[in-house]
Structure formats: C-alpha cells, structure tokens
Amino acid sequence: MIVSFGNKVRAETFDDFLDYAETYCQAGEKQAGGVLAGVVFEDTIRRMCREQNIPDRGQDLDQLIIALGRRSLITGQQSKQARVAAHVRNKATHALWDEYELDGAAATIELTRTFLREHPRRLSRQRS
C-alpha cells in the first residue's frame, strides 16, 4: 500500500513537471521547458525499460530507445521522435541552449504524454 501511494505521488509530481514544462514552452522559455521535459522523458523511457526487464543502468537513452523499438513497445515513428527528444534532453541538461529549438521541447512533452497514455499501468506500478 505504501509503494502504491509512493508511485501515485511520483506520477503526480512528474505530471506536474510536464505541466510546468508546457507552461514554460508556451511562454517561450525553452531553457526551463527543455530541462523539465527532458527529465520526465528520460524517467519515462527508463521506467518503460525496467517494466520490460531491459537493463537501463549505465545505458544512454539512444540504446534504450533502440531496445524499446526492437520489442515493438514503441513504433518506428516514435523511435525517431524519441531520438529527437533525447537530443533535446541532452542539450538542455548540458545548457547548450542554442543547439535545440523551443519546438523540440514542446514535441518532447507531447511524446512523453503519449508514452504515459499508452503505458499507464506499466509505469504507475513500478517501484522508485
């Protein structure tokens, strides 16, 4: 019961992060929007992998995206979009603001929401 409550709080917190990221993007603040979107995107990808027993520790996002695609957990189109989202995450996290666009941060938010919609039970049942 405690784990279930913890997962619910975590899910709500990350949903809040996505809402904040979207608000920042709508205000033209790609730095904050990109960082928040990237964090939630990476967490979502890693949780999807863990649910499928795909080792994620020490693996970069590109390798995890490939692994999810190989298992048909994401489509080919989603794999391409996920690589762009991983690029945004990497550039935002390393403060390379000129190397991604605001539209990329917004697309990262939308893709993350899609993954959360498509895999809700899997992602909400996992332990932190």
- In the chain, pLDDT over 70 holds for what percent of residues? 82
Written as six digits, the tokens of 107 are: 């697309």
- What's the pLDDT score for residue 8? 46
Q: What is the pLDDT of residue 9?
A: 41
Which tens digit of pLDDT belongs to each residue from 111-125? 999 999 888 654 444
Residue 11 has a pLDDT of 52
Q: Output the six-digit token pair for 101.
A: 């666009």
- Per the structure block, which two tokens stand in for 79? 């794999």
Q: What is the pLDDT of residues 62-91, one digit of tens each?
A: 999 999 999 999 999 999 999 999 999 999
Residue boundaries of the structural domains of the chain: 2-124
Average of pLDDT values for 31-52? Answer: 95
pLDDT of 94 higher than 70:
yes
Architecture of the CATH domain 2-124: Up-down Bundle (1.20)
Q: Which residue has the tokens 């189109």?
A: 77
Q: How many whole angstroms separate alpha carbon 10 and alpha carbon 77?
A: 28
Residue 40: pLDDT band (50, 70, 90) is: very high
